[in-house]
Structure 1
Amino acid sequence: MWPFRNGSSGFSSSSTAEKVTQGIDGTGLTAIVTGASSGIGAETTRVLALRGVHVIMAVRNVSAGRDVKEAILKEIPTAKVDVMELDLSSFSSVRKFASDFHSSGLPLNILINNAGITIPNFKLSKDNIELQFATNHLGHFLLTNLLLDKMKKTTSESGKEGRIVNVSSAAHRLTCREGIRFEKINDPSG
């Protein structure tokens, strides 16, 4: 389905995060990674920490996040990794996370919106929005908007341009013929 040949960067879809970041020193940078307690989020956190970045693991399951943090610290004793609770399906949780992060006084250079869920059965979030849409899209949208001024301030003060990365999957190809049916987003038949 995807070619594994190298692109103009010299990397391909088979390149590892360690290979892509080899030789990069992230000391002095701070990143938030959503969904950092498993999968791509955990690996992203590990490699960023390996490169010296202070990583905030934004996770729904704090216990799982602490387990990942401990595994990273065993491998990289000098790693700077913190775990903070974030449930992207809940606007109040997103607002609390952003408020707590602002209160920490930390800069923000990188925001990696990685978390996502796939649920085959219809379910509503606490805010009465279809759960997958609320988590994968609206939660990240709100989080990014609440943190954008912090990123701009960090860029202005440090002279280092920030980055926002939105991770997605090939599941976007599995939509209805007519596209997203926004008028049925909260309809179990939609």
Structure 2
Amino acid sequence: MKPLGVILAGGLATRMGGGDKALLPLGGRPMLDHVVERLAPQVDAMALSANGDAARFAAYGLPVLGDSIDGYPGPLAGVLAGLDWAADHGAVSIITVASDTPFFPKDLAQRMLGAAQGQTHPLVLAATPRGQEQTRSMTKGLIRHPTFGLWPVALRHDLREALSDGLKKVVLWTEKHGGREVVFDDPDTDPFFNVNTPEDLVEAERRL
């Protein structure tokens, strides 16, 4: 049984001048098109984590999940919204991906589920070897990409409590619950290249 998929599209996009990065054109189509097409074969169903007017994503026919925690606490709020949605559908876990990262691995879900074997609660973050492009959280010689994760529905209430207490750092929560990493090592490209600036969008066009 495949997990459910949640596309995290709730970022503020301050370095792009605000607005929805996911709807920026890439190859003549919204960047979100590429993300949806890459994730769809890997999951049983998908939803979008985004705040504001859901109508702007109406063309995708996906549930749009707003944060249930006030104050924009970051991507973990989107994870929580996804977990609540998945619980309503009787799912065990979700896979999250970022809406501004159009080249993530096509075997992301498969690799994460494999890395979760033996865990009481499946909790896995994507990682790349240190030195590959854009950094997130570095540890054990790895760069962790916390918007790309496998998350257990069973821990959603624990996550809600942690966010309500002011949790900001994803890895602090994952480490507390025995989270693992799955390493994607491609020496030729960064599979988690994300579009943060206008220059990044130009580079994404080149890679596409």
TM-score (norm. length: structure 1): 0.29
Greater percentage in strand: 2
TM-score (norm. length: structure 2): 0.27
Q: Which has the higher contact order (CA 8 A, sep 6+)?
A: 2
* Structure with max Cα Rg: 1
Greater percentage in helix: 1
